[in-house]
Structure 1
Amino acid sequence: MTVLFSTELIPHGLPFNPQQLKPASNSSSHHTPLVSCLSHESSKDIIRNSRNNQKTWVSAETKPTHPLSFDFKESHLMKLLNRSCKAGKYNEAFYFLECMVAKGYKPDVVLCTKMIKGFFNGRNIEKATRVMEILEKHGEPDVFAYNALISGFCKMNRLDFANKVLDRMRTRGFSPDVVTYNIMIGSLCSRGKLDSAYKVLNKLLKDNCKPSVITYTILIEATILQGGIEEAMKLLDEMLTTGLRPDMFTYNAIIRGMCKDGLVDRAFEFGKWVEGEKLVSEMVSKGCESNVVTYSILISCLCREGKVEEAVNVLKTMKERGLTPDAYSYDPLISAFCKEGRLDLAIEFLDYMISDGCLPDIVNYNTILSTLWDKFKALEMILEMLSKRIGPDEITYNSLISCLCRDGMVDEAIELLVDMGRSRVQPTVISYNIVLLGLCKVHRIDDAIEVLAAMVEKGSSRTKQLTYC
């Protein structure tokens, strides 16, 4: 068999000898240990021979964890292989795979595909490649197995190997499908190689393989990031001419791109968000209902532009259409109210959010806590968080420490800093900065120096980021 990749790039595992699995034919039930029955010279010969005969060695890494009987049938090995794959023990599964082929059994393509994915998830390129080589030599690989190998190489940023697998598929009589090309295009787009992604698209078309909605959506998202919304709209038109119907992911990408390119500003000059409404109406007319993500994008964009009232109207429209807003829908509004100093409205929206059946997350609470000046309200909100089993994070602690320092309660802030160090959330440079600034403001310079020394001793040596007074 032709080796899939050069051994200089990917060294193969040690050879496997099936003879090792066969028990001695004349073994008795009661016997003396082998070494004790040998003379000193015989022992040396055995050791010397075992060192020379490397084919009888099997890596301990791949040995199974449960006791084995060496008189395996194909069904037994298949069950053990399947069980190991389900348990995520892919090294053990690889051992059973080698046992199967050593006995002349045909490997199962589905389990081999699962092993390839598992080894790539564990960043073990060598084993993933060996599984494919075994499958090619002793079994029947399919497009799904090759796609798993291509996907793995793409995730490991080895596009050169992915292209080699693509060529090998063709030489072995397999035609890459749209999933194969989508994997390649997605990998190239995620690395900013849009030109190369379009070359793969052209190759897809030459192979008489029809692109899917996913193909175009991937390219539209990448084009928006690198070329702008106008180029993406051309791609959308091309997609429509092929007879493909955009789905909500496609439309959401376009809406996000329009917001990114400032089309909201131009539309609002006419007193109405024409482009956005037109696009949402088009989605509905084509049978593609806008979802929570669609409206959340619009709300976030409007809040960034300072058009909070319009964002509230979008939230109302969303609810009128029977959609339930989530934490991502409410957070831009809460954040916008906090930035405008309308803290009462932010808290009111948080309460409305809870009454509407949407549980707030840590981001929603932190947004309000970061602007609260009243330590009692801050503590009340933290207690509310804890009652909902939402644990505080670094931002929560820093907000409360800042609130205490502003009220001159620096000793309490230091106690909270110490408690923070005992919890799973460790204090950062920002946490120490807040306390140091609080101490300096009340002219406790000696205490500030002690806190600084404690910080350096703890390992946060980035003192250049500290606030000095």
Structure 2
Amino acid sequence: MNYGLRGKPEEVLEVMTEMEADGVKPDIITYNFLMSSYCRNGNLEDAKVVYRSLSEKGCSQNTATYRHMLAAMYVNGDFDAGLDIFKESKMKNKIPDFRTMKGFVEGLVKGGRVADAKQIIAYMRKEFSGSPQSGWEKLDKELGLDSDSGDTAHLQDSFAKIDAEAKSVAADAEAFELEGSSSLICSGFVYHYLICC
């Protein structure tokens, strides 16, 4: 976990090799830490390779996988990959949290992908009710996507705010909480604990 959040990918890979040598198979949490390390160290393509190979490794993406990878895609402006990740998260009913999705939509708008942003907001408003829906309605209005005027000049004022929030989400993504990681029951944590203690 320490290497995944603060170290280099090579350090994560080294621990994974040691785990496998001792008969402990890396799980999705372990791979999430590897992808996190790749993204944090600017190796987005390597993170995508790991992401695409998860099923071959006998792992299935969890919500944390989608949250982290989607955040990394929009922070780095890779909207096509981000849209693919979002579509997959929809199919598996593991859509990332509101803050991650909000950042992705804001990034799409800033990147000139207004139609994609509108489609995501329409989907999220339809699928989710209650307070998150009001958040989508608010975002829709903030970005001016609730009108059909096509005028995007008003969006320029929002871009400074979007940049600040993207940096904040990127920092949060670096320290994202992985599902189940707090219990220290996953194989990678137990292995790390046994080695260190």
**Do the structures match in fold with TM over 0.5?**
yes
Question: Given that residues 216 and 236 in structure 1 are in contact (C-alpha distance below 8 angstroms), is that contact kept between their aligned partners in structure 2?
Answer: no
CA pair 191-171 structure 1, distance change in 2 beyond 3 A: same
2:3 to 104, 108, 116: 116
How many Å separate the matches in 2 of 1:248 and 1:141? 39
Give the SS at the match of 2:144: helix
After TM superposition, the structure 1 = structure 2 runs for residues 387-398 of structure 1, keeping only pairs within 5 Å, are none
Question: Given that residues 77 and 107 in structure 2 are in contact (C-alpha distance below 8 angstroms), is that contact kept between their aligned partners in structure 1?
Answer: yes
Letter in structure 2 aligned against 1:115: N
Instruction: Look up the match of 1:128.
Output: 12
Is 1:262 matched with 2:154?
Answer: yes
How many Å separate the matches in 2 of 1:126 and 1:165? 14
The one of the two structures with greater contact order (alpha-carbon pairs below 8 A, sep at least 6) is: 2
Question: TM-score, normalized by length of structure 1?
Answer: 0.28
How many Å separate the matches in 2 of 1:168 and 1:233? 31
Q: Offset at 1:198?
A: 0.8
Is 1:223 matched with 2:103?
Answer: no
CA pair 262-233 structure 1, distance change in 2 beyond 3 A: same
Question: How many residue pairs are counted as aligned between the two chains?
Answer: 149
Q: Offset at 1:168?
A: 4.1
Larger radius of gyration: 1
In the TM superposition, what whole-angstrom CA distance separates every residue of 1:61-114 from its partner, at most 9, and x where no partner exists?
xxxxxxxxxxxxxxxxxxxxxxxxxxxxxxxxxxxxxxxxxxxxxxxxxxxxx2
CA pair 232-203 structure 1, distance change in 2 beyond 3 A: closer
Question: Given that residues 124 and 133 in structure 2 are in contact (C-alpha distance below 8 angstroms), is that contact kept between their aligned partners in structure 1?
Answer: no
Letter in structure 2 aligned against 1:132: M
Question: Given that residues 67 and 97 in structure 2 are in contact (C-alpha distance below 8 angstroms), is that contact kept between their aligned partners in structure 1?
Answer: no
Unmatched segments (≥5 aa) in structure 2: 146-151, 162-197
Give the SS at the match of 2:54: helix
Letter in structure 1 aligned against 2:9: I
Give the SS at the match of 1:186: helix
How many Å separate the matches in 2 of 1:248 and 1:164? 36
Is 1:175 matched with 2:48?
Answer: no
Q: CA RMSD in A?
A: 3.3
Is 1:152 matched with 2:44?
Answer: no
Is 1:187 matched with 2:68?
Answer: no
Question: Given that residues 188 and 194 in structure 1 are in contact (C-alpha distance below 8 angstroms), is that contact kept between their aligned partners in structure 2?
Answer: yes
Letter in structure 2 aligned against 1:257: L
Give the SS at the match of 1:170: coil
After TM superposition, the structure 1 = structure 2 runs for residues 287-366 of structure 1, keeping only pairs within 5 Å, are none
Is 1:141 matched with 2:26?
Answer: yes
Letter in structure 2 aligned against 1:210: K
Q: Offset at 1:239?
A: 0.8
How many Å separate the matches in 1 of 2:101 and 2:129? 9
Q: Offset at 1:252?
A: 6.0
CA pair 236-150 structure 1, distance change in 2 beyond 3 A: same
Unmatched segments (≥5 aa) in structure 1: 1-113, 264-296, 302-469
How many Å separate the matches in 2 of 1:249 and 1:198? 20
Instruction: Look up the match of 1:413.
Output: none
Question: Given that residues 20 and 26 in structure 2 are in contact (C-alpha distance below 8 angstroms), is that contact kept between their aligned partners in structure 1?
Answer: yes
How many Å separate the matches in 1 of 2:10 and 2:111? 35
1:200 to 65, 85, 89: 85
CA pair 133-244 structure 1, distance change in 2 beyond 3 A: farther
Q: Offset at 1:130?
A: 0.5
Identity %: 20
How many Å separate the matches in 1 of 2:16 and 2:27? 10
CA pair 152-252 structure 1, distance change in 2 beyond 3 A: farther
How many Å separate the matches in 2 of 1:153 and 1:201? 20
CA pair 249-148 structure 1, distance change in 2 beyond 3 A: farther
How many Å separate the matches in 1 of 2:96 and 2:2? 28
CA pair 146-235 structure 1, distance change in 2 beyond 3 A: same
Letter in structure 2 aligned against 1:242: E
CA pair 131-243 structure 1, distance change in 2 beyond 3 A: same
Question: Given that residues 213 and 244 in structure 1 are in contact (C-alpha distance below 8 angstroms), is that contact kept between their aligned partners in structure 2?
Answer: no
Question: Given that residues 39 and 47 in structure 2 are in contact (C-alpha distance below 8 angstroms), is that contact kept between their aligned partners in structure 1?
Answer: yes
How many Å separate the matches in 1 of 2:12 and 2:90? 30
Question: Given that residues 204 and 211 in structure 1 are in contact (C-alpha distance below 8 angstroms), is that contact kept between their aligned partners in structure 2?
Answer: yes
CA pair 243-253 structure 1, distance change in 2 beyond 3 A: closer
Instruction: Look up the match of 1:324.
Output: none
Q: Offset at 1:155?
A: 1.7
How many Å separate the matches in 2 of 1:193 and 1:164? 14
Give the SS at the match of 1:175: coil
How many Å separate the matches in 2 of 1:257 and 1:239? 15
Q: Offset at 1:175?
A: 0.7
How many Å separate the matches in 1 of 2:52 and 2:75? 22
